[in-house]
């Protein structure tokens, strides 16, 4: 795109293996009909993820001031795009900032900033494309000099990439956080005496001196225009003769749909002479060039405005064509500093942009790899009486699974040819119903799943029988309250969805009925939580759960009881419930206090610009809307957490990172603790709310967060970041994370300016 400060890239290359005997034939036929390719297609390279350009590192004239003139994405921004399935980040930067002096050492501070992004991406199973965003030039004392001039020798460009490869090189060809080196964004109008071909070869040679494993991405000459590749002998066409000893070159084209292909979209849809297949027509010459020359490629830049729905159709047709031909790409652009930029796909006030809906349609990478027979989970002597007519298999699999299901039979070794169900909807878990099971019969069940890399996974299976019993589970609960300070309890009833009427009943007799004290919930959700207050210490209570679906059928439900500890009150008068987990006592709600312990107010900062520049304590409500206070609590920067005036009431404090680790250990480790800490159901959490059981009683809610670099709000319903009191360095501190699509609770570091939730632990 012909623009002075902007540029774009993105990549998706699909790797698809041949199908073998255990693949569901219907699944293959369905995907083949949708245009998916096999690994024999010459356009397909090793697996890469669909991506997004996260702009900011290329902003401003170099060197500039970090945080004022330019920025890099933080963990919160990566979370949003990861949650959408955009797993490749094209990360633009300026050559001058990484290497301030030609042929000199790389700047350690700037390298550290990029490594931070790389490490955060790695934690999220994302990969990085390092993008030198200089348009074939280098700025020296305010003047841009073309590579190949006396001021910027070609050898200096090779020196830069040699040093970059030494720092970021891929040591293991099978696993790396660095997807590739994009050696130069949109070279154009180069010197007649020094061809872009020779400059690119110099960079390739420098990289291969130290790194033989990482992809090298080469843009076409002439602003990476797709059409230039189709001209025999052109500056882009001759790039097919570049030499790479590792054979890992990938060619990049940029495609926009406005009249001059600049990506500026200055006029209306009609004024830009647009039509539904304009993108297809523009990119076809590049796709044809890849096929003719047996090369790997991707479309590095494309994007549309959202001011006319017809642009979305152009984008849809364009992406469909790329997918059908085994070439994918990344959207331009995301990043926190775009403001009202018309191509930006950065969410606005927590809402997705219209372009995201189109992009999400093309995030699937299907791999027709054999589905081996995996975990056999025999279920013996399933005692089904005559009133029980079926069963449910719940399989919680690995994330981003593309072919999966359950199979069952009367023999010990069921295969996928047995009765089964499949699901390729990319959710983290699925539920399959198996009907017609016979009473007093032993059944054997196996789950199977294949991820986008073709790896097959065994899944954990749980079996739950459906009943039509009119009177359901009676659960006696003795000594509900251990002492007089505990004033109540929580019943969590897990139903067999969907139900229209349900609740709990309890009494002092051993045969409670629905006429006893009860709570009803008609929302139709699978789970709900009811609070029973006024329970007396050292007394035995009997509890029954009941539920009725829309057809009037009653279901038996599992019931669990969690005692609610003594309450605690903050200086504002907010009352919080507590729960004991192991030897620790935690608040059951996010903190929402607005004053320090001594009565001084915590600054309520609403403005985005003001928030991102703070070095003192502050709080806000999500979206600056107090309606979120009671459910989600407040968002605090770490400076408020660390203020000597104390954010916690007497006898309480913000947990250290070590105390957080102790909590995880009580709950079986960080890989499982997240599910046990999250509130069940999808009243607040976005589906699928993977693994959520709230077995701890912690009741974590998805409060979202405030981004440090922009002051924008993000991920309500998706994430909950919780500060620890432990500092990492002068600008970052440790935090924990609960997320809608995982049962993990990873620990990481974040900018102290971020707005996160706070949970208190008793001294």
| Per-residue pLDDT reduced to its tens digit, 722-737 | 999 999 989 999 999 9
> Which residue do the tokens 């913000």 mark?
654
**Average pLDDT estimate for 263-282:** 95
**pLDDT the model gives residue 580:** 84
> Which residue do the tokens 């589970």 mark?
473
Q: Say if 376-466 and 474-564 have the same CATH topology.
A: yes
Render pLDDT for 61-110 as a digit per residue (tens, 0 to 9). Answer: 999 999 999 999 999 899 999 888 888 899 999 999 999 999 999 999 99
**Average pLDDT estimate for 156-160:** 97
**pLDDT the model gives residue 414:** 64
**Cis status, amide bond into 63, omega within 30 of 0:** yes
Angle between helices 154-168 and 196-208 (to 10 degrees): 30
Classified by CATH at the fold level, domain 376-466 comes out as Immunoglobulin-like (2.60.40)
**Is 30 one of the catalytic residues?**
no
- Whether the per-residue pLDDT at 240 is higher than 90: the answer is yes
**pLDDT the model gives residue 376:** 33
**pLDDT the model gives residue 570:** 93
What is the CATH architecture of 474-564?
A: Sandwich (2.60)
Nearest to 177 by CA among 91, 59, 248: 91
Q: Say if residues 608 and 592 touch (Cβ distance below 8 Å).
A: no
CATH classification code of 38-360: 3.20.20.80
> Which residue do the tokens 């935690």 mark?
586
Render pLDDT for 315-368 as a digit per residue (tens, 0 to 9). Answer: 999 998 887 887 878 899 999 899 889 999 999 888 899 999 899 877 754 433
**pLDDT the model gives residue 251:** 96
Q: Say if residues 316 and 279 touch (Cβ distance below 8 Å).
A: no
This model's pTM is above 0.75? no
Q: Say if residues 135 and 8 touch (Cβ distance below 8 Å).
A: no
Longest CA–CA separation in the chain, Å: 96
- Whether the per-residue pLDDT at 476 is higher than 70: the answer is no
**pLDDT the model gives residue 696:** 84
**pLDDT the model gives residue 511:** 62
Nearest to 676 by CA among 575, 744, 580: 744
- Whether the per-residue pLDDT at 388 is higher than 50: the answer is no
Domain assignments of the chain as residue spans, ordered by start: 38-360, 376-466, 474-564, 574-762
Indicate which residue of 186, 202, 493, 494 is catalytic: 186
**Average pLDDT estimate for 525-548:** 51
d(CA 471, CA 555): 9
User: DSSP H helical segments within 154-308, as ranges?
Assistant: 154-168, 196-208, 278-293
- Report CA-CA distances (Å) from 353 to 342, 349, 709: 10, 10, 20
Is residue 69 classed as helix, strand or coil in its secondary structure?
Answer: coil
Confidence tier at 176 by pLDDT (50, 70, 90)? confident
Tokens of 725: 């009191």
Indicate which residue of 58, 96, 272, 301 is catalytic: 301
Nearest to 424 by CA among 104, 23, 2, 10: 23
**Cis status, amide bond into 333, omega within 30 of 0:** yes
Lowest mean pLDDT among 89-103, 408-422, 577-591: 408-422
Backbone dihedral region for residue 696 (phi beyond 0: left; psi -120 to 50: alpha; all else: beta): alpha
Render pLDDT for 615-665 as a digit per residue (tens, 0 to 9). Answer: 999 999 999 999 999 999 999 999 999 999 999 999 999 999 999 999 998
Nearest to 447 by CA among 427, 430, 435, 426: 430
pLDDT over 70, % of the chain:
66
Backbone dihedral region for residue 135 (phi beyond 0: left; psi -120 to 50: alpha; all else: beta): left
**Is 186 one of the catalytic residues?**
yes
Q: Say if residues 461 and 393 touch (Cβ distance below 8 Å).
A: yes
What phi, psi does 117 have (nearest 5°)? -65, -45
- Whether the per-residue pLDDT at 519 is higher than 60: the answer is no
> How many Cα atoms are found within 13 Å in the side-chain-facing hemisphere of 88?
28
d(CA 721, CA 36): 38
d(CA 158, CA 150): 15
CB within 8 Å of 435: residues ≥ 6 apart:
389, 390
């Amino acid at each position: 795109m012909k623009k002075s400060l902007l540029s774009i890239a993105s990549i998706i290359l699909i790797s698809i293996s041949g199908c073998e005997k255990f693949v569901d034939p219907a699944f293959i036929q369905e995907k083949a009909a949708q245009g998916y390719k096999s690994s024999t297609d010459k356009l397909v390279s090793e697996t890469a993820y669909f991506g997004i350009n996260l702009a900011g590192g290329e902003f401003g004239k170099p060197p500039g001031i970090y945080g004022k003139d330019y920025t890099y994405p933080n963990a919160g921004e990566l979370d949003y795009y990861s949650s959408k399935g955009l797993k490749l980040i094209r990360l633009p930067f300026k050559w001058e900032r990484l290497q301030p002096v030609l042929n000199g050492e790389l700047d350690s501070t700037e390298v550290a900033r990029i490594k931070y992004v790389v490490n955060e991406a790695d934690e999220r199973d994302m990969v990085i494309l390092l993008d030198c965003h200089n348009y074939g030039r280098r700025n020296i004392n305010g003047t841009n000099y073309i590579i190949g001039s006396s001021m910027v020798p070609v050898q200096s460009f090779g020196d830069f990439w040699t040093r970059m490869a030494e720092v970021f090189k891929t040591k293991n060809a099978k696993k790396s956080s660095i997807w590739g080196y994009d050696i130069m964004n949109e070279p154009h109008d180069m010197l007649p005496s020094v061809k872009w071909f020779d400059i690119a070869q110099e960079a390739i040679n420098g990289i291969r001196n130290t790194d033989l494993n990482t992809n090298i991405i080469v843009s076409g000459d002439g602003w990476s225009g797709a059409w230039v590749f189709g001209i025999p002998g052109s500056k882009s066409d001759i790039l097919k003769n570049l030499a790479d000893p590792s054979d890992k070159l990938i060619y990049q084209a940029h495609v926009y749909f406005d009249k001059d292909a600049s990506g500026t979209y200055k006029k209306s849809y009609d004024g830009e002479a647009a039509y539904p297949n304009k993108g297809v027509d523009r990119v076809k010459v590049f796709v044809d060039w890849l096929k003719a020359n047996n090369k790997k490629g991707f479309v590095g830049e494309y994007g549309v405005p959202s001011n006319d729905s017809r642009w979305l159709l152009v984008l849809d047709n364009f992406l469909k064509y790329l997918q059908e031909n085994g070439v994918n790409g990344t959207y331009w652009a995301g990043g926190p500093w775009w403001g009202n930029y018309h191509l930006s796909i950065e969410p606005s006030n927590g809402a997705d942009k219209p372009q995201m809906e189109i992009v999400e349609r093309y995030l699937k990478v299907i791999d027709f790899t054999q589905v081996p027979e995996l975990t056999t989970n025999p279920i013996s002597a399933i005692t089904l009486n005559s009133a029980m007519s079926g069963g449910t298999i719940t399989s919680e699999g690995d994330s981003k699974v593309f072919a999966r299901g359950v199979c069952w039979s009367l023999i010990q070794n069921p295969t996928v040819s047995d009765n089964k169900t499949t699901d390729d909807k990319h959710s983290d878990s699925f539920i399959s119903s198996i009907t017609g099971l016979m009473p007093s019969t032993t059944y054997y069940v196996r789950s199977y799943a294949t991820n986008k890399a073709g790896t097959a996974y065994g899944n954990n299976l749980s079996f739950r029988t459906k009943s039509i019993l009119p009177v359901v589970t009676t659960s006696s609960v003795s000594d509900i309250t251990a002492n007089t300070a505990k004033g109540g309890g929580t019943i969590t009833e897990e139903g067999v969805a969907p139900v229209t009427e349900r609740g709990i009943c309890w009494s002092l007799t051993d045969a409670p009925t629905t006429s006893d004290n009860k709570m009803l919930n008609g929302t139709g959700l699978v789970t709900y939580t009811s609070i029973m207050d006024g329970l007396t210490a050292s007394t035995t209570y009997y509890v029954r759960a009941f539920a009725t679906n829309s057809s009037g059928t009653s279901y038996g439900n599992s019931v669990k009881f969690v005692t609610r500890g003594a309450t605690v009150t903050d200086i504002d008068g907010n009352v919080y419930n507590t729960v004991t987990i192991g030897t620790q006592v935690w608040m059951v709600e996010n903190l929402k206090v607005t004053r320090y312990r001594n009565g001084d107010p915590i600054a309520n900062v609403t403005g985005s610009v003001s928030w991102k520049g703070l070095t003192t304590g502050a709080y806000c409500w999500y979206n600056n809307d107090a309606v979120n206070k009671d459910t989600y609590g407040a968002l605090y920067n770490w400076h408020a957490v660390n203020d000597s005036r104390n954010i916690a009431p007497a006898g309480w404090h913000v947990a250290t990172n070590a105390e957080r680790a102790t909590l995880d250990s009580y709950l079986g480790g960080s890989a499982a603790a997240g599910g046990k800490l999250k509130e069940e159901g999808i009243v607040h959490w976005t589906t699928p709310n993977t693994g959520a059981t709230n077995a701890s009683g912690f009741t974590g809610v998805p409060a979202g967060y405030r981004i440090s670099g922009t002051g924008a709000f993000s991920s309500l319903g998706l994430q909950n970041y919780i500060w620890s009191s432990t500092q990492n360095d002068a600008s970052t501190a440790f935090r924990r994370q609960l997320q809608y699509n995982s049962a993990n609770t990873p620990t990481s570091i974040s900018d102290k300016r971020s707005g996160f939730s706070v949970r208190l632990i008793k001294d």
